[in-house]
Amino acid sequence: MRMIGIEDGRSAFGADAANYDAARPEYPARIYEILRERCGLKAGTCAFEIGPGTGLATRRLLEAGASVTAIEPDARLAAKLRDCADDPPLRIIHATFEAAALPQGAFDLGTSATAFHWMDQRAALAKVASVLRPGGWWAAWWNVFGDPDRHDPFHDATTHLFQASASPSFSPLFKHPFALHSEARIADLESVGSFTDIGFDVSHWTLVLTASQTRALYASFSNVTTLPEAERTKLLDAIHDIAATTFKDRVERHMCTALYTARRR
């Protein structure tokens, strides 16, 4: 099985930034409720975001009144991200999080949405802690395309198409996708020694798609974007055909969104 490496993953989504922006589903409203109620997201919050992509979560942080420093390693995604807002309240740093120069102890809130699996967990969390002020909050969340607790017919009908590759966030061989492996994710946070009040929340929901929307969504996945063009087109055509015929142009993916929060000591 071909495992997509971190460097490949960080550049996997920018080739078609417009499709990535349009095809990826929003995060549940409950995520932002928790950020407000637990993590203090409000007007004037000084936040940073790791791996914002084209700004799916960034827009919601800005709408809440936060100023956001967005650290994005892909120049193509960063260019699309600029559509979210003018400087300020949005500052974009085109760099990896590891290389980004950030002020120590300066931020009220740090976030990462479906991106934090593309880095070394403990080293990155140590840097997160160093740039948060004491009492500041960290929140990382992922949309998981499939709910282990619910039958997912479309996944069953298409899983044979994805046996050749995997990414750090998911592999058909893993019992628990990265985001839902709560014991490991909490252990990562605890290992840094700088966090308290660690929380884990899961939202369950259903994503309904047409065949064309399904094709566009799968075209945004790293284990698809990194395929050679002919192979990628063949796979996406197969996805579309299954969605259009077997599922009669209505695909339901049972989703869950996993959120981890922690407060800087």
- CA pseudo-torsion sign 243, 248, 250, 255: negative
Tell me what percent of the residues of the chain surpass a pLDDT of 70: 90
pLDDT on residue 223: 84
C-alpha 97/C-alpha 29 separation (Å) is: 26
- CA pseudo-torsion sign 46, 122, 260, 28: positive
Any bridge partners for residue 113, and if so which? Answer: 141
Q: What is the DSSP string of 174-233?
A: -SS-GGG-HHHHHHHHHHHS-EEEEEEEEEEEEEEE-HHHHHHHHTTSHHHHTS-HHHHH
For the segment 61-86, what is each residue's pLDDT rounded down to a tens digit?
A: 999 999 999 999 999 999 999 888 77
pLDDT on residue 86: 73
Q: Give whole-number Cα distances, 67 to 104, 108, 121, 216, 260, in Å.
A: 17, 10, 25, 31, 21
What rounded mean pLDDT belongs to the chain?
Answer: 91
Show me where the domains of the chain are located.
2-264
Instruction: Tell me if 67 sits within 8 A of 92, measured CB to CB.
Output: no
What mean pLDDT do residues 96-109 have? 97
CATH architecture of the region 2-264: 3-Layer(aba) Sandwich (3.40)
pLDDT on residue 171: 55
For the segment 132-185, what is each residue's pLDDT rounded down to a tens digit?
A: 999 999 999 999 998 988 999 999 999 889 876 556 665 554 555 899 999 999
For the segment 172-231, what is each residue's pLDDT rounded down to a tens digit?
A: 545 558 999 999 999 999 999 999 999 999 999 999 999 999 999 999 998 898 889 999
pLDDT on residue 7: 59
pLDDT on residue 10: 57
Model pTM greater than 0.75? yes
C-alpha 22/C-alpha 11 separation (Å) is: 18
C-alpha 116/C-alpha 53 separation (Å) is: 12
Residue 15 has pLDDT above 80, yes or no: no
| The pairing of beta strand 107-113 with beta strand 132-144 | parallel
pLDDT on residue 177: 83
